[in-house]
Amino acid sequence: MANSPDQRRALIEATYACIAKWGPRRTSLEDAAKAAGVSRATLYRYFPGGRDELFEAVVAFEYDRFFERLLQAVQGAKTLETVMEQGLAYAHRAIVEHEVLHLVLSTEPELLESTFAQKGVTTRTLIGEFLLPYLELHELREGVRPADAADYLARMVLSYMGAAGRWDLSDPAQVRVLVRDELLGGIAA
């Protein structure tokens, strides 16, 4: 019997629900299989590496969903400043409010490390590619290439998403100053 993408997704979503309910340490493969309405054998057919592989798939799935939602949050932005302000504010709020993320960080942060290591460069590239058309329309300092500015901004956005430092990203006025003065200040004309 061939593996079904829908069944795989159902297993991931059921495991996510278990982690949300009990935390990663108390979620077993039996819990995940039961929540998905399948046997352990079926679970192992999709995730032969067992718990580690399944949990990594859950983290990767949620990582992708986060960035899909982030893209939706900035979809209507017309300017570089607006896309960055809306994106940083959304990302901050989503991370602060993500209960499962905080459960994993407090109990098994190593679950996140491999996903971030695998997806980090790709994510930075995708963010840079998303920002590039905005930068091509934006007046940049002499000698600043749009592609270099896109990579810089993508790195900075990811950095601030993870640790806002002295900035209160829940305050629109501070986000505006961060974006316009700090992030764009070094590249904009």
The domain that holds 15 is classified in CATH as: 1.10.10.60
Q: Is the domain of 34 the same as that of 82?
A: no
The answer as to whether 135 is a domain residue is: yes
Select from 42, 189, 17 the least CA-distant residue to 99.
17
Is residue 188 in a domain? Answer: no
130 lies in the same domain as 171: yes
- Does one domain contain both 11 and 90? no
Quick one: what percent of the chain has pLDDT higher than 90?
A: 63
> What's the pLDDT at 23?
87
Are 71 and 147 part of one and the same domain?
Answer: yes
Per-residue pLDDT for 169 more than 80? yes
pLDDT by residue (tens digit) across 98-139? 887 767 777 777 767 777 777 777 889 999 999 999 999 999
Sign of the torsion formed by the C-alpha atoms of 116, 118, 123 and 125: positive
Q: Is residue 131 part of a domain?
A: yes
Q: Indicate if 110 and 177 belong to the same structural domain.
A: yes
Half-sphere exposure of 86 (CA within 13 A, CB side): 16
Q: Is residue 44 assigned to a domain?
A: yes
Whether the pLDDT of residue 1 is over 50: the answer is no
How confident is the model over 10-42, as pLDDT tens digits? Answer: 999 999 999 999 988 899 999 999 999 999 999
Pairwise CA distance, residues 159 & 93, whole Å: 15
Matching residue, tokens 């493969």 = 29
Does 148 reside within a domain? yes
pLDDT for 2 equals 58
- What are the tens digits of pLDDT across the range 53-78? 999 899 889 888 888 999 999 998 99
Determine the Cα–Cα distance for residues 61 and 184; give it in Å rounded to an integer.
32
**126 and 156 together in one domain:** yes
**Is the same domain home to 70 and 21?**
no
Q: Residue 14: which domain range?
A: 1-48
Number of domains in the chain: 2
Is 189 inside a domain boundary?
A: no
Are the beta carbons of 54 and 93 closer than 8 angstroms? no
Mean pLDDT of the chain: 89
User: Are the CB atoms for 125 and 154 separated by under 8 Å?
Assistant: yes
